[in-house]
Amino acid sequence: RPTDRGDRPKYNVEKVNIGLPNLGDLLPNLSFNYTRVVHDGASRGSASQGFPGADFLSNEDIRSFCEYGRKDARRRATERAMDFDHLEARLASIPDTAGQLGGARARARRVVKHGRRIAQAEKLIARWYATLYGAFEREYEAELVRIGRGRQQQPRKPRAGFAWR
């Protein structure tokens, strides 16, 4: 962590390591690591979390808020799906207490199906962010048109005619 002088950023790293005991030489070691880095305290609170437009002062703020949430949920859905594929592959290689691998894939699928629901929920969150902005535009279309007309329009440059030479 850098010194607490005003010219340097402050970092706070939070780590969680969960390790399962080694169950023998035949089984792989399973461990789950989670690390979160907080930069200048910007990881807590919705507006300070980096969500752009969380002040909701304009339609651009609402659009950027929805777009950021949609992209973030889509990224999380992809990561979760890949993580649970990896977990399923790891769990499928663990034999039962009798040392038999028959049924290991079925056991792994029964465990991982809950994680797949998490990934599916993230996908739905991304869809609902897009729906949120669509509903906002539909409901407030008249106000947005009125506001848009009041803005200064940039003068268009006349197009040059087409010429061969």
Tens digits of residue pLDDT in 29-80: 656 666 666 555 444 444 445 678 788 888 888 999 999 999 999 999 999 9
Binning pLDDT at 50, 70 and 90, where does residue 94 land?
A: very high
Q: Which letter does DSSP use for residue 55 in this model?
A: T
Taking only Cα atoms into account, the Rg of the chain, rounded to an integer number of angstroms, comes to 26
What is the distance between the alpha carbons of residues 9 and 94, in angstroms, rounded to a whole number?
45
**What pLDDT is stored for residue 48 in this prediction?**
47
Residue type, 90: R
pTM here? 0.56
**3-state secondary structure (DSSP) of residue 164:** coil
Tokens 């897009």 correspond to: 130
Q: 117 pLDDT exceeds 60? A: yes
What is the distance between the alpha carbons of residues 113 and 95, in angstroms, rounded to a whole number?
19
> DSSP letter string over 26-63?
SSPP-EEEEEEEEETTTTSSTTTTT-TTTT--SHHHHH
**What pLDDT is stored for residue 135 in this prediction?**
94
**What pLDDT is stored for residue 151 in this prediction?**
53
| Three-class SS of 125-160 | HHHHHHHHHHHHHHHCHHHHHHHHHHCCCCCCCCCC
**What pLDDT is stored for residue 25 in this prediction?**
61
Binning pLDDT at 50, 70 and 90, where does residue 82 land?
A: very high
Q: How many C-beta atoms lie closer than 10 Å to residue 129's C-beta? A: 20
